[in-house]
Amino acid sequence: MSAPTDQPFSFPIVPRYAEIDQQGVVFNGHYLTWFDEACTAFLDRLTVDYAGLIDLGFDFKVVHSEIDYLASVRWRDAVRVAVVCEQIGTTSFTVAFTVLRTGAGDGEQIAVRGRNTYVVVSTADWAKRAIPDPFRAALASCVRPAGRSQ
């Protein structure tokens, strides 16, 4: 675990052959998997990462997802998923994702934007709980308003 920085976090992705559909682009459902992988890596850099949250007796689950498709991602594109925490509530937090692609001879462009809202639950009974203070502080250390996830 390392402390958050002022730099936005981004997670590199290599589009795998199996993620490409018959149109030659990444199949839409795979972006949710990429968001999950990027969120886990994002949390790994906080002072309370996912494993630490579990150790405290808490977990979280996705309760809402949004995805806007702006450009296609193709096999062999260079891809990164920029991640920011946009909002922290009493029991939930929202993480925004921006998928940026660079194809052969292209500059980097936004391909997909999305966000997930997560609700914190107890590992004892899976009931909704307030975000524990150490996790809230870790998330608060890197909150950025909407639209700054690159």
For Cα atoms 30, 9, 18, give the angle at the middle one, nearest 5 degrees.
Answer: 20
**Per-residue pLDDT tens digits for 33-79:** 999 999 999 999 888 888 889 999 999 999 999 999 999 999 989 99
Q: Is 126 exposed, middle or buried (0-12, 13-18, 19+ CB in 10 A)?
A: exposed
**Per-residue pLDDT tens digits for 75-134:** 989 999 999 999 999 999 999 999 999 988 889 999 999 999 999 999 999 999 999 999
pLDDT of 5 above 90:
no
Supply the pLDDT for residue 72.
Answer: 94
Supply the pLDDT for residue 147.
Answer: 53
For Cα atoms 13, 58, 33, give the angle at the middle one, nearest 5 degrees.
Answer: 20
Among 97, 107, 24, 92, which Cα is nearest to 61's?
92
pLDDT of 9 above 70:
yes
pTM for the predicted model, two decimal places: 0.89
Least reliable range by pLDDT among 67-71, 86-90, 139-143, 146-150: 146-150
- Tell me which fold the domain 13-141 belongs to: Thiol Ester Dehydrase; Chain A (3.10.129)
